[in-house]
Amino acid sequence: MAKPISIEVWNPSGKYRVVSTKPMPGTRWINLLTAQDCRVEICTEKKTILSVEDILALIGDKCDGVIGQLTEDWGEVLFAALKRAGGTAFSNMAVGYNNVDVSAANKYGVAVGNTPGVLTETTAELAAALSLAAARRIVEADQFMRAGLYDGWLPHLFVGNLLKGQTVGVIGAGRIGSAYARMMVEGFKMNLIYYDLYQATRLEKFVTAYGQFLKANGEQPVTWKRAATMVDVLREADLISLHPVLDKTTYHLINKDSLAIMKKEAILVNASRGPVIDEAALVEHLKANPMFRVGLDVFEDEPYMKPGLAELKNAVVVPHIASASKWTREGMATLAALNVLGKIKGFPIWSDPNQVVVFLEEKSAPPLACPSIVNAKHLGLTASKL
C-alpha cells in the first residue's frame, strides 16, 4: 500500500473527480474544469517522478479522469485501475505519448489525449538555440569567461561553424521538424535536406518561394531536397536535427553506424526523445571526433546522462526544456484538461488536432470539444463538425 499522497483540492463539491499528477502552469485549466462541475485534485507531493503505486493511490476508488506527465508509465495497471474507478479519460500533458500503452487504454475504453500544436514553435526555437549554441560554442565560451580565462582577443579563440549556405538536415519533418527547418532556412539561409515517411509539401513550397525571393534580390537562393533514405541526410547535412516520434522504427535511429556516416565536423541536435540516439555510441563518437558537436535536450535514461557525456566540451546539454515557454506550458495544461473534460462530458473530438489555438484564447470560452484524442477512432468517438 503506497503511503498517503499530498494533494490540493479545488471545488470540493464538484461532481466529476479529475486528478492531475502534477501542479501545472497557469490557472485557466483549473477554472475550466471547476466551471464544468469538476472537483480537481492536484498531487503536490515533492517527488519529481511518480511511481505506478503513487498514481494508483491518486486514482483511488472513484476517478473520472487523470491528467498525467510524460515521466509516468501509463500501461495496463493504471488503465485497469482507472476503469475500475469509473474513469474514461486520460491526457498526457505532452504531444509525445511514448510513455502511454495505447492498446492497454483501448482495452479499458479509456481515451488518451495529447497536446499537439501549442508547443511546435517553442520546441523548434529551442532546437534552433541548441544548433547555434553548438555551432558557435556558446557554452564553452561562457564557461571560459566566467573562469576568468579571457585575457584578450585572439584570431583562434572559439572558432566555430558558419551556418549560412550550409545544409540543414531534418529527420522527422512533422509539425516541429518543419517549423525548425523554416527557422534555419529563413533565418540563416541554409539549404534543406529532409527525411520523413511523408512528403512535407508545405515546407517544400515555403523553401521554393523563399529561394525565389532571394534570387529576385540578387542573393544565392536556398534549395530543398526530400531524401529517399535517412543515410542521404546523414551524408550530406552539416547540421542535423531530430524530430520524429519515438517508436520502434526510430529507437536508436542514430547509432554507431549512422554516426560514422556523418561529416566529421557536423552538428547533431536532439529535441525529440532520448532513445532516438544510442547515447553510449554518441559519447564514444564525441570523444573520437572533437570537432563533431551535439546539442541535446533529451537523454536516453532521463534524468541521467550516459557516463562521460557531462565531461565533453563538444556537447551542449539542457534538461528537457524544449517546450518550456510560459504560453506553451499554460497552453499544454489547458489542452490536457480540455481533453479530459471533453471525454467526461461526452463532447466530440476536435476536427483538426493541428489547429488548436482556438482552445487557448484567454478571453473566449473554448469550443465544446476534446482538442486531441489519439485513440478516438479506435474508441469510435465522433469528430466535431465545428
Ligand X SMILES: O=C(O)[C@H](O)CO
Catalytic residues: 273, 302, 320
Q: Would you give the binding string for ligand NAD spanning residues 66-95, x where CB under 6 A is met? A: -----------------------------x
How far is Cα 237 from Cα 373, in angstroms, rounded to an integer? 35
Q: Which 323-382 residues touch ligand NAD, going by CB under 6 A?
A: 323
Q: Would you give the binding string for ligand NAD spanning residues 89-128, x where CB under 6 A is met? A: ------xx-------------------x--x---x-----
Q: Which 157-186 residues touch ligand NAD, going by CB under 6 A?
A: 171-177
The phi, psi pair for 175, rounded to 5°, reads -60, -55
Q: Which of 244, 275, 331, 371 binds ligand NAD (CB under 6 A)?
A: 244
Report the phi/psi class of residue 109: left, alpha or beta, with left for phi > 0 and alpha for psi in -120 to 50: left
Closer to ligand X at the Cβ: 191 or 323? 323
DSSP track, 41-85: EEE--S-SS--HHHHHHHH-S--SEEEE-TTS-BSHHHHHHHHHT
Q: Please give the C-alpha separations between residue 19 and each of 43, 59, 78, 133, 139, in angstroms, as whole numbers.
A: 8, 7, 13, 39, 40
300 binds ligand NAD (CB under 6 A): no
The phi, psi pair for 77, rounded to 5°, reads -60, -50
The phi, psi pair for 80, rounded to 5°, reads -65, -45
Q: Which of 68, 87, 96, 295 binds ligand X (CB under 6 A)?
A: 96
Q: Which of 95, 128, 163, 267 binds ligand X (CB under 6 A)?
A: 95
Closer to ligand X at the Cβ: 227 or 333? 333
DSSP 300: T
* Positions in the binding site for ligand X (CB under 6 A): 70, 94-96, 119, 323
* Positions in the binding site for ligand NAD (CB under 6 A): 95-96, 116, 119, 123, 171-177, 195-198, 243-246, 249-250, 271-273, 297-298, 320, 322-323
